[in-house]
Amino acid sequence: MSIQRDPDGRRSVRVEVEVPGTPEQVWQAIATGPGISAWFVPTTADAHQGGEMVCDFGNGMVSTAKITAFEPPFRFAAESPGWGPGMPPIATEWTVEARRGGTCVVRVVHSLFASTDDWDDQLTGTESGWPSFFRVLARYLRQFAGQPSATVQATAMTTAPFANAWSVLTQAMFRDTPTPGQRLTAAIAPGVTLAGAVAHVDDLGHGHNVHVALEQPIAGTLVAGAYACGGTMVQMSVYLYGGKAESGATAVRQQLSTWLGSLFPASATPSSDGA
């Protein structure tokens, strides 16, 4: 991963992924509120040039961006305030490039103008986080594109190092360090079980997470991880799909926050959700 530095002071990072689907299907997933909520974070979008996009990352972290270009189904751009005090505004451009064989390349570029390297860590941290979300996007497009969806997030903050928090989380979920192919059966409350097979385990540098191809309560994806962000944030995101997505989310919503809070007492925040 690297930052591109231009002579005019522009600094940028670029991440891309190849995903299944037509440009129209991919556009629905990356440029509409329901589509983004199905694989990223709960999002509302006034999807046109001059509109706003609001992303809820949980734990009170909400990002609002103004859409500065909107060219369906191939490109849109947005600008948001800096992610920290004194940080310059961030410009983000999304493009969709069709490939042969029914796939598309999704490319995201974050850029800002600065005369120092004060904000480079924020750019590289954002760059390192996208591949994990892109795994959820690819699975959504491959198996659930266009289906109703519901997302549940639960977040806890702790002063423990992220490696320690990761150990607590994975011991509770798996009784061991998770590995691809391993089965998860976690009863988070009486009658509420998260079950499926581990698809990926990611080392992000600033954290760890695990992706599970959920079968219970219904089909979907679970991402659970611990991340360094000032303190340590522990987050579980459950993406559910199909006609029973909302009822499945309702069954999980409060229980997930309560279960996570039992692992990290007095630090769990209420769940947020999007459909």
Residue pointed to by tokens 């694989």: 39
* 264 three-state secondary structure: coil
Q: What is the pLDDT along the chain (275 residues), one digit of tens a residue?
A: 589 999 998 999 999 999 999 999 999 999 999 999 999 999 999 989 999 999 998 777 899 999 999 999 999 999 999 777 788 999 999 999 999 999 999 999 999 988 888 888 888 888 888 999 999 999 999 999 999 999 999 999 999 999 999 999 999 999 989 999 999 999 999 999 999 999 999 998 889 999 999 999 999 999 999 999 888 999 999 999 999 999 999 999 989 999 999 999 865 555 556 65
* Among 66, 40, 35, residue whose Cα is nearest residue 134: 40
Calpha distance 146→140 (Å, rounded): 9
State residue 190's pLDDT score: 93
Calpha distance 10→222 (Å, rounded): 36
Give me the phi and psi of 146, to 5 degrees please.
85, -10
* Among 27, 55, 53, residue whose Cα is nearest residue 153: 55
Inter-residue contact 240 to 224 (CB < 8 Å):
no
Inter-residue contact 156 to 234 (CB < 8 Å):
yes
Residue pointed to by tokens 């990352």: 57
State residue 272's pLDDT score: 56
Q: Convert the pLDDT of each residue in 202-213 to its tens digit.
A: 998 889 999 999
- Sequence length of the chain is 275
Calpha distance 244→266 (Å, rounded): 32
Tokens of 23: 């440009």
For the chain, domains (ranges, CATH) are 4-144 (3.30.530.20), 149-274 (3.30.530.20)
How open is the CA angle 90-93-98, to the nearest 5 degrees? 165
- CB within 8 A of 184, min separation 6: which ones? 173, 174, 178, 194, 195, 196, 197, 198, 212, 222
State residue 271's pLDDT score: 54
Give me the phi and psi of 266, to 5 degrees please.
60, 20
* Among 245, 271, 17, 74, residue whose Cα is nearest residue 144: 245
Tokens of 128: 């390192």
State residue 274's pLDDT score: 60
Maximum pairwise Cα distance, the chain: 60
Q: What is the pTM of this model?
A: 0.92
Helices (H), 58-215: 120-139, 162-174
